[in-house]
Structure 1
């Protein structure tokens, strides 16, 4: 592959990262609008917190450690977010009868409303993405998958910016 092609791919990658940041703001605004239309009273103010609700909704009962692993966030960050969600009445905590040490979370009815709104948004995005992927052949889809898997591994590694 030529250096020019590599540079173009990198430039598109950086552009995609910037667009993704902008899209997160747009998604939050769309979610806020849907929440208003559906008369959902409690909606967290950022997407990470909404994704924690989604993680709990998909995996309940789940504890801080489980959420942190699934979301690739620190336990301290999850503790901070879950404390806020408890105060806002979007999740509840409980202990299993056979394990009184570990604290688990479930969604409250208000939390379930947020979860369902978020699921609808993701479902629409998935349908649009599927239609987009259908424009590529199977070998192209395999190459895209391989690229994204490698990119995910690369993004997950801590990089020394001083090199």
Structure 2
């Protein structure tokens, strides 16, 4: 196995371990909510004037999938839709008070996981962080270019 394959395999392995380790606590604390719904809630809270298009692009999902998720979240009373007086065409989303509670639970869990993993990150130098971040940014730009080159439309997939 060459180093490229090893890096990809280790990234995937690392991601899967994080998901597996965090999964039961997330599911227990956020009963009744799917991961995609929670990520929608998180995006809406962190980004003003969130709409279906922005959510789809950010979460790498189709507009249709996001529409289904937002309808469910509206029905659950977690988000509400609104329009701007100057633009009656576009529909935006914001969290309700109940949605903010879910967001806060999710954030607290992330802080807890960060605290758990702190010992590893405390050993990483600034140069190592910069190097890892630089690599991830380069790779991400490459993947963005490939997506564009292949003409993949994230909104309609």
What TM-score, normalized by structure 2, do the two folds share?
Answer: 0.75
**1:154, CA displacement in angstroms?**
5.1
Is it true that 1:74 corresponds to 2:62 in the alignment? yes
Specify the alignment match of 1:90 in structure 2: 78
Tell me the matched-pair count.
148
Q: Which residue of 2 aligns with 1:48?
A: 36
Q: Is the 8 A contact 2:52 2:67 kept in 1?
A: yes
Equivalent position SS for 1:139: helix
In the superposition, relative to structure 1, how do residues 86 and 6 fare at CA in structure 2: closer, same or farther (>3 Å)?
closer
Q: Measure, in 1, the Cα distance between the counterparts of 2:6 and 2:69.
A: 38
Check whether the contact 1:57–1:106 (CA below 8 A) recurs between aligned residues: yes
2:45 pairs with 22, 33, 57, which one? 57
Cα offset, 1:10, TM superposition: 4.1
Give 2:16's match in structure 1, choosing from 15, 18, 27. Answer: 18
Describe the shift of the 1:80–1:145 C-alpha distance in structure 2 as closer, same or farther (beyond 3 A): same
1: CA distance, partners of 2:99 / 2:109: 16
Higher relative contact order at CA 8 Å, sep ≥6: structure 1 or structure 2? 2
Alpha carbons 2:26, 2:109 under 8 Å: kept: no
CA contact (8 A) 2:51 2:92 kept: yes
Does residue 132 of the first structure (1) align with residue 130 of the second (2)? Answer: no
Q: Structure 1: where are the runs of 5+ without partners? A: 33-42
Indicate the SS of the match to 2:80: strand
After superposition, the C-alpha distances for 1:47-98 in whole angstroms (9 at most, x for unaligned) are: 1110101111112432212222332322111111101111111111121111
2: CA distance between counterparts of 1:149 and 1:130?
A: 23
| Cα displacement (A) at 1:105 | 1.2
1:142 and 1:87, CA in 2 relative to 1: closer, same or farther beyond 3 A?
A: same
**Greater radius of gyration (CA):** 1
Contact kept, 8 Å, 1:53 with 1:111, in 2: the verdict is: yes
- TM-score norm. by structure 1 comes to 0.72
